[in-house]
Structure 1
Amino acid sequence: MSCSCTSSSTNNTLQQDVMDKINNHPCYSEGAHQHYARIHLAVAPACNIQCNYCNRKFDCSNESRPGVTSSKLSPIDAVKKVLYVGGKIQQLSVVGIAGPGDALANPKKTFETFKLLQEKAPDLKLCLSTNGLRLPEFIDEIVKYNIDHVTVTINSVDETGEIGSKIYPWIHWKHKKVFGKQAAKILLKQQIEGIKMLTQKGILVKANSVLIPGVNDKEIANVAKKLKELNVFLHNIMPLLSKPEFGTYYGLNNQRSATDQEVMQAQEVCGMDIKLMAHCRQCRADAVGLIGEDKSNEYNNDIFKNKSWKELEDIYNIKAREQRHALIENWRKALDSANERVKIEQASKEQLSSNNKTKLIAVTSSSEGIINLHFGSATEFLIYEAGNKAIKFVMHRKVQNAYCKGPEDCDGSYPIEEIKQTLKDIDLLLTEKIGDCPQEELRKIDLITDDSYALEPIEKSVFEATKKHFFYEKEKEVN
């Protein structure tokens, strides 16, 4: 694996340094996201730009998307929360500040939090997310507090400001509001300058781009090319979420969300230029736990805020956390061996298949890289593209309701139609267990289901199942 934020003359030591930085970072490493947890701290409520896709909601527990949080925290309470959560969820490896506004529009709270984290939780990786408007101002502080992962949201590189003006109504710049194309031009200039400064300091940059149908969908490829020029490490293309109930400008004005297929198409185009993040879940500003799960509602402020630092340090227990991480790494090594390295990142169809034909495979998994979730409990599906030579991870797809709500909430309805719509282009579903009724429903969309790989490693199972269901006979004929 090469690092796009280093030159071609980079030696192996530096390459290993980069690998060490991302090894247990669930956002920067697809291989880590089923094993390590993250926490977002909602200490940054103010924002200095207005995005048409954003509506920052406080005291909100029923939505999972950026800008949403159940409560705002002071820096001290935020760090107390980290110590408490880190003791209860020992696989916690990363803490980030991602809102609910912008981390760098709240610099005092943001950097006070990071300062305390350095003192109290030195084993954690530190991250921040920003729109980039004030990024050049704070490079020295980012370096000072060892924040070696920074995410910048950049949705257009159109220097005329035409596209940006359709996304950002205004920015707050030098003590006044600036509107329209001029605002978009200023924002882009600051983003590019800030990203250059970060990569020159050796800080890994992830760029987020929101795919907005009819607005910047044709522009995303240009964004990817520019990000490559800027030595950005990772590009994350996220679908616009614009339901009316979200209360965003787009949601209230009939701008439709991006489809899974549109995201896949954008990934295919942009993947020619830059390494992609395909496993993003568009997390809340107070997200807790593994990517794909959110346990934020289990850790309300009353649990930790009145505890002393000594109590919390005992709960955090760095030595016990180190032991847990060592066990995780041993498991990952065993899993890599079991999977036989059949996965290729950002592979072409030619690399995946001898005849350029591939299949889309959905998997249900709760964590740890194995097929360990019943179909009835799944609210998301991991999607792989597979051929007879190799596989690659493509994306995750969420559904609002699992097929089975469980005995306590069961009302006799089984919401299969949303699942069928979500999996309409999928060829095969691998799951731990599935009943006859949902199997019959999924056959109506020509989706094959297979639960014979229960509790097996995902990647090896995807590869073997694809060959079994779609390539075996042809291979036998050739032989």
Structure 2
Amino acid sequence: MSAPMIPIAGLSLSSREKMGQTLAKGGCSAGSCGSSAGPDDMDPATWAKVKDHPCYSEEAHHYFARMHVAVSPACNIQCNYCNRKYDCANESRPGVVSERLTPEQAARKVLAVAAELPQLSVLGIAGPGDAAYDWRKTRATFALVAERLPDIRLCLSSNGLALPDHVEEIVAMNIDHVTITINAIDPAIGQQIVPWIFHERKRYTGIEAATILRDRQLQALEMLTARGVLVKVNSVLIPGINDDHLVEVNKAVKARGAFLHNIMPLISDPAHGTHFGLTGQRGPTAAELKKVQDACAGGANLMRHCRQCRADAVGLLGEDRGQDFTLDKLPEVIEDAPEARDAYRAWVAEERKDRAAAAQHADAAAAATEAPTLFAVCTRGSGRINLHFGKATEFQIYEADSDGIRFVGHRRADNYCLGGHGDSGRMAEIIRVLDDVPYVLCQMIGEGPRKRLAAAGIEAIDSLGEEYIETAIAAVLQSRAARLPRAAQGA
């Protein structure tokens, strides 16, 4: 297929060349989040809201970037998995930021990022405290940005306790995406996760705190969905505490109109200083997370591509450029470039048509697959095999079976290549992370890591660089099917 031309900032490059340069700088299926198929399976108004939102559409996260601004440090609850850190550049988890901003500083930073990254489509406020509790700063930031960048969608995340108090303002300000963290609907379980809350100038603990929090969360969810706001519910999977209970949470949020349910793993490390980290509460394995997600099939649509972003994240999901846009690095003069964002979105629209057609053919090729097969994909975006194995810090996991080819999650591992040489310890961790995945698809791989993967029963394939992910997977399946009869004849 021919690559269309995309003019950005006075340049004229082929779409693949431009995409590669853009993503290098900064850059759902229905089974995963229910929001990639487009107008055929949802009303046009809803599709218009999600099609360019990388968190609300698995398909969109291949193309579009988000940014968070850390303007709301105050929080009204304490979670046993949370320890908000400031001036921290080395941890990738919620609640962590390098610098706290005033609304004016945040707006300036958003303008700078929008001028540099045409992929930017969403501004979110996710802390480092609670965006609804620290509402004055959240509201001021959104107002400043909306005045200058009306094409950027607004999004906020909250624990839900203060959220009902601000629903009418949220609707009036066209904040059409809200995330609520709901880890339990049974207060007996909730009190094991949240030891205290601060509500109406009073501190509550135990069952009472968990009950108030639960009631306010569900009230906010009902109020928002009744007004047409898309709500994503986050739940942290904590083994031994709420793992069996999350199916009930899924049913409850679906009944109240949640658009997506994001079940994400507990991040538990003593070095983070959280209660769970210091008391030895472990996080789930990839298999345990998938088991709970699969158990929720048929309930609220699941999000499987979450990266559990920092509160100052910038760029594509899985590729944070926040450290490139600290206050000291912002230019003195910032000029908006809406024409670059318009051109980029026009390019994405055409690319989506190509990829949708390719995916349809790929699904047909996968129809003959007897047993589900997993693929680990090295990609830096655009839905293509376009990243060197040694540079991958995460692998996107796809599953192929008789129902087709679909994204099912991602797995993180430190990149193997360090300045021209490989790290043996990191390679061992990559093999452990991919122990149930028989194929790795990448743009390029050296003979050393190829042989180590092969010794572990993993075939690395680098002959399909720049192909769409689905097309590449279909090609592998077809090649495997062609080899099997010959192998049977030889036997």
TM-score, normalised by the number of residues in structure 1:
0.90
Q: 1:449: Cα distance to partner?
A: 1.7
Aligned to 1:246: 272
Q: Structure 2 regions of 5+ residues with no counterpart?
A: 1-28, 31-38
Matched, 1:369 2:389: no
Find 1:446's aligned residue among 440, 454, 457: 457
Residue 257 (structure 2) pairs with residue 231 (structure 1): yes
Task: Please list, as runs of the form range in 1=range in 2, the aligned pairs for 1:344-355 lying within 5 A after superposition.
Answer: none
Q: Return the offset for 1:105.
A: 1.3
- The residue type equivalent to 2:210 in the other structure is A
Q: Secondary structure at the match of 2:287?
A: helix
Question: In the alignment, what sits opposite 2:22?
Answer: none
The TM-score with structure 2 as length reference comes to 0.88
Within 5 Å, give how 1:92-131 maps onto structure 2. 92-131=120-159
Give the match's secondary structure for 1:418.
helix
1:76 equivalenced with 2:85 (yes/no): no
Maintained 8 Å contact 2:366/2:474: no
- Contact 1:403/1:416, CA 8 A, preserved across alignment: yes
Partner of 1:395: 409
Query: In the TM superposition, what is the alpha-carbon distance from 1:320 to its structure 2 partner?
Result: 2.6
Mapping of 1:23-422 within 5 angstroms? 23-158=51-186, 161-304=187-330, 307=332, 311-312=333-334, 314=335, 316-340=336-360, 342=362, 357-399=371-413, 401-407=414-420, 413=424, 415-422=426-433
Q: Distance in 2 between matches of 1:461 and 1:439?
A: 18
The answer as to whether partners of 1:340 and 1:460 remain within 8 angstroms in 2 is no
Counterpart amino acid of 2:61? H
- 1:7 equivalent in structure 2: none
CA RMSD across the alignment: 2.5
Deviations 1:426-450 (A, max 9, x none): 1211111122221222223321221
Q: Are 1:416 and 1:438, in contact at CA under 8 Å, matched by a contact in 2? A: yes
Residue 319 of structure 1 and its aligned partner are, at CA, apart by 2.4
1:352 CA drift (Å): 7.2
Between stretches 112-121 and 124-133, larger displacement belongs to 112-121
* Distance verdict in 2 for CA 1:163–1:87, change over 3 Å: same
Query: What residue identity is the alignment partner of 1:371?
Result: I
The change in CA–CA distance for 1:285 and 1:156 in structure 2 (over 3 A counts) is same
Question: AA paired with 2:143?
Answer: K
The AA in structure 1 aligned to 2:443 is E
CA gap of 1:463–1:288, structure 2 versus 1, over 3 A, is: same
In terms of mean alpha carbon deviation, does 211-220 or 173-182 score higher? 173-182
Secondary structure in structure 2 of the residue aligned to 1:382: strand
| Shift in Å, 1:322 | 1.2
**Distance of 2:416 and 2:348 partners within structure 1:** 31
Q: 1:317 Cα shift? A: 1.8
Moved more, 355-364 or 222-231: 355-364
Matching residue of 2:4: none
Aligned partner of 2:302: which letter?
L
**1:372 is matched by which residue type in structure 2?**
N
Number of residue pairs matched by the alignment? 455
Give the distance between the partners of 1:395 and 1:12, measured in 2 at CA.
24
- CA gap of 1:461–1:224, structure 2 versus 1, over 3 A, is same
- CA offsets 1:331-382 (integer angstroms, 9 cap, x no match): 22222223336469xxxxxx97667620111110011111011111111000
Distance 1:463 1:258, change over 3 A: same
In structure 1, stretches of 5+ residues that fail to align are 3-10, 345-350
Aligned counterparts of 1:26 and 1:343: Cα–Cα separation in 2: 23
SS at match of 1:150: strand
